[in-house]
Amino acid sequence: MALVSPLSPDHDSEVAEMALFFNETLGFCPNSVLTMQRRPAIAKAFISLNKAVMQNEGRVTSSLKRLIGYLASHTAGCQYCQAHTIRAAERYGAPDEQLLKIWEYRTHPAFSEAERAALDFAIAASVVPNSVDENIQKRLHQYWDEGEIVEILGVVALFGYLNRWNDSMGTNLEDAARESGDHWLSQTGWTGGKHV
């Protein structure tokens, strides 16, 4: 059971307007945002940050950003965010091979060396204590410019917030996100955990 229950999507008209962003990303407004809106300023700030982080200004694609979010969330253990990120990666056109073989990214031919460098960085930046070392930094700079690195780390940091929020809240997983988790992640042990 969730620590705090979500409010109706139309509870706050400003939040509802801003949250339309998630209809494109997920097909629904997440329960995490519906809970945040108990303090509308938090919900609005979060949605603004999410939009800024997910805006593409370089070569980091929308689907890669969601795969980065998935690995960051898996590393942190948040099954709620794992389902959301794999769903969003699918909606933004990640190839089926990448969705099914995400944990084989280091060797699977569906992933480029640039993607591998970004995904290695995502995991290293998500563990506590942080394990970003000189080798990971060097590989990242080999494939990505500094603005793109900011985008990649922005995704990791955004999901650091969401992982803590959703695991601490025990946010209830929406049906559509659960379906995506079951479809793409159940073979790697994903169950939805406390969120179902």
Answer yes or no: is 180 within a domain.
yes
Tell me the pTM: 0.96
pLDDT in tens, 152-166: 999 999 999 999 999
User: Is 62's pLDDT higher than 90?
Assistant: yes
Answer yes or no: is 76 within a domain.
yes
Residues with Cβ within 8 Å of 40's Cβ and at least 6 positions away in sequence, in order, are 12, 14, 15
What sign results for the dihedral spanned by CA atoms 9, 10, 11, 17? positive
Q: Where are the alpha helices (DSSP H) in 55-170?
A: 62-76, 79-91, 96-100, 113-126, 134-143, 146-169
* DSSP secondary structure code for residue 11 in this structure: S
* DSSP secondary structure code for residue 191 in this structure: -
What CATH number is given to the structural domain containing 115? 1.20.1290.10
Answer yes or no: is 38 within a domain.
no
pLDDT in tens, 16-35: 999 999 999 999 999 999 99
Answer yes or no: is 166 within a domain.
yes
User: Is 8's pLDDT higher than 90?
Assistant: yes
Paired tokens of 20: 């339309």
pLDDT of residue 104: 95
pLDDT confidence band for 9 (50 / 70 / 90):
very high
Q: What is the domain count for the chain?
A: 1
Answer yes or no: is 37 within a domain.
no
Answer yes or no: is 3 within a domain.
no
Q: At what angle do helices 113-126 and 62-76 cross, to 10 degrees?
A: 30
171 and 35 Cβ atoms separated by less than 8 Å:
yes
Answer yes or no: is 70 within a domain.
yes
pLDDT in tens, 37-54: 999 999 999 999 999 999
pLDDT of residue 1: 84
Parent domain of 104: 59-191
Task: Tell me how far apart the alpha carbons of residues 92 and 143 are, in angstroms, rounded to a whole number.
Answer: 22
pLDDT of residue 148: 98
Answer yes or no: is 84 within a domain.
yes
